[in-house]
Structure 1
Amino acid sequence: MLETESVGGSRNWLLHARYVRGEHAMCLEMAEQLQKQCQNAHRYAHFIKGLVLADAGRYQEALERFHSCIRLQPHDPEPLKQVGKCLFRQGRYQLSLEAYLEADKLTKHPDPDTYCALAECAWNLGDAERGVEWARAAVQAGGGERAGALLAKLLLACDDMQGALNAYDHALSTHACGADTLAAAGALRLRIGDPRRAFQLLGAALAQQPTQHAAALALAAMLLQHKDLDAALARLKAALTAHPTCVAAHTNLGLALMAKKKYIAALTCLQRAVWAAPLSARAAHDLGLTLLMCKRPTSAFCRLAAAAALQPSQPYTVLLIGVALERLGDSRADAAYVRAMALAPEDPLVRLNLAGRHARAGRLTEAVEEAGVTAELLNREEKADGQLASSLASLLALLRDAGVELSQLPSVPDANTPLPIEPTNEVATPDEERLAPDEV
């Protein structure tokens, strides 16, 4: 075998160069010539042909070429690694794991690529804890950005958020990371409540790759929280340019347009989100909320009912169903309000809406009880929600005007923060008549 290998060995560099340059047709032709000269025993020709077939998606044929390499040189780990890669792309994760383990046994020195592949196989097999061990080994072996980002993702899957943060920080401090890693680290910083660092990381990701839709989405969410609607719209449009079917981008764009009172455009974006993900409860919920704000309770009820069917334990969806039914004059509204309260008994927003429902129905005693529960829940919080405290004060004033004695009314918690400017559920515009309910 050594003799046959040496016959075509002088041309291995040309075979490799053509593969690297993407000249796959010429590469296959040359590999066939070398095999004829060496009686089908040229190991490197088998290897390159397997790489070309794998790049073309012909994984089964590529596996045959790599197995030929293994038969010719059983102690070489590279063909085994390529076998593992082909099996992984076919979704045969257990077999891929076994192939990489065999390659690891043949490798004389720690190989970070093999460890990363083992971690990804373990992740796809549902064994995240074992994957963390392999990812740590890859980091220690010098796996660079790939190993650090993989370790952070696996730690996050194991609910070790601090460990994931440390892994991202280590990767960012020791390597020149790409836009995907920067975006993931920024999104995690945003989740833990560190907006300053998140803004830096997301901005760096977009500076490196302006079409990185994950970073654009996260940065747009931050801008929406700070009421910078124009900048958020620009980021969301950039995200949609890179990923036209992104449901989150369509949804957030629709909500941002709704805040700017561009109702038709907002409904169009939210409808596209529902079309792109018909089984997304969040998309259906947001479309139902917007339809409710546009005085279209019938359409809103249909969307909210679909969202509740997909995610029955979401209290806010059930609460909005109660609001829609109440606007339609349906007696089932009370059941929806009570169901929302049963799903979230400690949520002051749900209890306040239930109190308002009792007050509008003339059940003043029940309204006072629910208002008292709401006041107690708000008092438990370190900082009372200013919007809820203001709404509770308005409800208590209405109950007092209705004849309820002052001694029966609870005290309104003192909100230490100024009232946020939120879009109201009632859309009050000069063109309100043009937003007539679609059921008329």
Structure 2
Amino acid sequence: MLFVTAPESPLLESRNWLIHIHYSRREFDVCRMYIQEELERSSRMAEYPNYIMGITGQAHGSVVSAPGYELTGLGFDSRAVSRVLFLKGELSQKGIILRHEGKIQESLEYFQICHVLNPRSVNNIKQVARSLYLLGRHRLAVEAYLEAEAVATKPDWAIYHNLGLCLVHVGEQAKAKENFLRALQCSRQEETYMALAKIHLLEEDIEGAIWIYKTALQCYRDSSELSTALGLLYMKTGQFQSAFEQLGSALAHDNNCPRALLAAATMMQAHKDIDVALSKYKIVAQCLPESSALWNNMGMCFFNKKKYVAAISCLKRANYLSPFDYNTLFNLGVVHLHTQQHASAFHFLSAAINFRPNSAAAFHMLALCLKNMEDPENAIQAFDQAGQLDPSEPTVALNYAVFLNSKGDKDKAIEQLRKFQKLAEGNTALDSQLLEMASELCVKLSLSDITNINDAHNAEQLDENPGDLEQDLV
């Protein structure tokens, strides 16, 4: 009689713990090697990686969305799917590894196949959704999130939160707000509060955003990000004391918080504490060397200290980092105008006007530049445009009057000087130098003196008064 002994079969999935350890250590090459060995040893029937997919997504803090979508919609071949059915143990684990390596499209294909193998798995749909979101295919991601919501047996914070993010990208802010509120009902997460506040800001509802941040701070009192964001909103609304308190709170919890330091330095700069502001900016530069707002504000600090070469260097770096930023272009125009580099000033001021054609200050500076370049016709047009855009600005009228008088047009110069006198009455923010200029012009035009206008206080002007310089908050 012939006896046949059964061959020894290795215990399937006996090395799953080793695969998981290497994945947790982000040793993806070693992890992939063990996965391949296990698949060959088990005739590609190992299923553990398929189950571990959802666990690793949560254990490592992935922001998991819920995309479900049809494979045929992306041109998948059903025969290709059938050929990889036996790979289900490897697919999810490999998809996660590929995503960590930045191969989003390849990871999406693996997660799609996992979704075919187990269409009722919420984790599989979430992983597909996350890949779609990272690829910028937000409309497909929305459909997938909705599918995940339908499959889920209980409310899921990640589904609602990420669905809201995708809806923001497709422009459906009302639905996004609704989903963020549903996410907060599931779990009061800091990032959901931040996203909800941003929607209020998109709707220009600053008070609503402030209320959201204040509510979030009741749950996350130690959050420097929330305190900084709230402080910046207070600065925009002119509540500087509240802004200072929030920024101080942010720095108390994280004394190297770059956004809080930048905002605090901006406040100091606005109050003419230039040296302290510069010291803060130098600290921020170590953390945010590519912040255009940082270099813009540093440039204006050097300008106030009359270090023009350093000012232009900082402003040009800001312009390099953000070439379409109006504030930087305007400031470059003003500094070049002050250093009598009129052609360069014209270049930057023209660019600033292209980005903000309703800026009276930019047209005012451009008019002064054209005047110095001896282009009176265009200078007159620029002065007229500045006066139309901001008829309440007295410095435009005064500079226009000086220019017209220099060209011999005394009637129009008198008209503009009268306009300045009317606008200057009761205006305590005017610089005394402006009043002296107006008085001298009155004497030249044989008008009654206007030195009885209220004296002005604390406004540093150029000889031709270029106006307020622009600053960025963040």
| TM-score under structure 1 length normalisation | 0.84
Does 1:264 pair with 2:309?
yes
**Secondary structure at the residue paired with 2:430?**
helix
Matches within 5 A, 1:24-423: 24-36=28-40, 37=42, 39-40=44-45, 42=47, 43-44=50-51, 45-176=90-221, 178-209=223-254, 212-332=257-377, 333-377=379-423, 384-387=427-430, 390=432, 393-406=435-448, 414=454, 419-422=457-460
CA distance in 2, matches of 1:177, 1:94: 36
**Alpha-carbon contact 1:112-1:147 (below 8 Å) kept:** no
Give the number of aligned pairs. 413
CA distance in 2, matches of 1:349, 1:34: 79
What are the Cα deviations for residues 383-418 of structure 1, in whole angstroms up to 9, with x where unaligned?
Answer: 834225x45533442244235443xx7796646xx6
**Alpha-carbon contact 1:291-1:300 (below 8 Å) kept:** yes
* Structure 1, unaligned runs of 5 or more: 1-6, 428-440
CA distance in 1, matches of 2:437, 2:147: 70
CA distance in 2, matches of 1:273, 1:236: 13
**Secondary structure at the residue paired with 2:187?**
coil
CA distance in 2, matches of 1:233, 1:294: 22
**Secondary structure at the residue paired with 2:306?**
coil
What are the Cα deviations for residues 259-279 of structure 1, in whole angstroms up to 9, with x where unaligned?
Answer: 011122112112222333334
**Secondary structure at the residue paired with 1:352?**
helix
The Cα RMSD (Å) is: 2.8
What are the Cα deviations for residues 196-217 of structure 1, in whole angstroms up to 9, with x where unaligned?
Answer: 2222333343455555443333
- Distance of aligned partners of 1:38 and 1:353 in 2 relative to their CA distance in 1, 3 Å threshold: farther
- Distance of aligned partners of 1:57 and 1:314 in 2 relative to their CA distance in 1, 3 Å threshold: same
Which range moves more in the overlay, 316-325 or 180-189?
A: 180-189
What residue identity is the alignment partner of 1:384? N
2:22 matched residue in structure 1: 18
**Alpha-carbon contact 2:298-2:311 (below 8 Å) kept:** yes
Q: Matched residues, percent identical?
A: 31
How much does 1:362 deviate?
Answer: 4.2
How much does 1:312 deviate?
Answer: 3.1
What residue identity is the alignment partner of 1:26? V
How much does 1:113 deviate?
Answer: 1.7
- Distance of aligned partners of 1:359 and 1:340 in 2 relative to their CA distance in 1, 3 Å threshold: same
Which range moves more in the overlay, 60-69 or 158-167?
A: 60-69
* Structure 2, unaligned runs of 5 or more: 1-10, 52-89, 466-474
| TM-score under structure 2 length normalisation | 0.79
How much does 1:121 deviate?
Answer: 0.6
- Distance of aligned partners of 1:69 and 1:346 in 2 relative to their CA distance in 1, 3 Å threshold: same
- Distance of aligned partners of 1:378 and 1:93 in 2 relative to their CA distance in 1, 3 Å threshold: farther
CA distance in 2, matches of 1:271, 1:323: 22
CA distance in 1, matches of 2:452, 2:24: 72
How much does 1:13 deviate?
Answer: 4.8
What are the Cα deviations for residues 161-205 of structure 1, in whole angstroms up to 9, with x where unaligned?
Answer: 111111111111112554433322221121111222222333343
- Distance of aligned partners of 1:98 and 1:377 in 2 relative to their CA distance in 1, 3 Å threshold: farther
